[in-house]
Amino acid sequence: MYEAVAADLLEKLRKTLLEMHHTGRLSDIDPDLYEDARAYIEKLKADYYSLENPLESRAGSLIIEEIGSVSDTVQEIFSIRTRQILDLAFQQIEGQYFDREEARKMLPAERAMYGQIIEAIEVCREALIYGKEYPFCGTGAEAVDAMIDEPGDSAGIEEPVAAGSATSLYALVHIRADMESFMGVDGRVYALKRGDIVTLPENNADVLCERDIALNIMLNK
């Protein structure tokens, strides 16, 4: 039963990704896809830690590979959809036709992100072109200020972040340089490369932004 569920999930992820690459447009997505993937990964982790010697067993290695495969596929789905949503936002801002059918294909969290992007760009335009008050603040602006005031070193990210400083807050960032894999304050291992658009714990995102490795595009107000 478990094997059948796993096979169905992997097939669903592959089909979703294949369709996205094929159409080049925002497509319908199973609203439970991310939740199902998280549940499957948690099950794999439980299986891994239930092994007697997971680090030394073939079964442990296979589980780690499968976790990586599922995580990478989900991350790629997220990255592609986020780029497509950003394109839609810029099209609307530039006065092009707003495609309601495309908007209906967004998940609730994606619609919220889309709305934040539209609002943020409009507020910035009003401030720069018409001289109106610019109300943005928060970690996004602070990260850019840090980049300007203290240019960071793009080499590595070995500087530890205290585990106790972890919060539930995440930031959406654009990765500007390839980097070594690292563990975030949320306990996840991140393997990122230039061009990725990902959500990271704010503590880790701030460090990368300060070092000019990433650009925070979660537009907080």
- The 10s digit of each residue's pLDDT in 21-55 is 888 788 888 899 999 999 998 888 888 888 888 77
Q: Strand 182-183 to strand 214-216: parallel, antiparallel, or no bridges (unpaired)?
A: unpaired
- Report if residue 185 sits inside a domain: yes
Whether residue 157 is found in the same domain as residue 111: no
Give me the domain span that covers residue 193. Answer: 139-216
Look at the chain and report how many structural domains it folds into.
2
Does the pLDDT value for residue 160 go beyond 50? Answer: no
Whether residue 18 is found in the same domain as residue 125: yes
Helix (H) or strand (E) holding 202: helix 202-210
Which of 90-99, 106-115, 161-170, 198-207 is predicted with the least confidence, judged by mean pLDDT?
A: 161-170
Whether residue 25 is found in the same domain as residue 82: yes
**Could you say which of 130, 150, 165 is where a domain stops?**
130
Query: What pLDDT is attached to residue 107?
Result: 92
**Could you say which of 70, 104, 130 is where a domain stops?**
130
Query: What pLDDT is attached to residue 3?
Result: 55
Q: What is the CATH number of the domain that holds 93?
A: 1.20.58.1030
CA distance 214 to 197: 9
- Report if residue 221 sits inside a domain: no
**Could you say which of 77, 104, 130 is where a domain stops?**
130
Whether residue 54 is found in the same domain as residue 75: yes
CA distance to 44, 143, 151, 196, per residue, from 137 (Å)? 40, 10, 20, 24
Contact 179, 192 (CB under 8 A): yes
Q: What is the pTM of this model?
A: 0.60
Whether residue 26 is found in the same domain as residue 123: yes
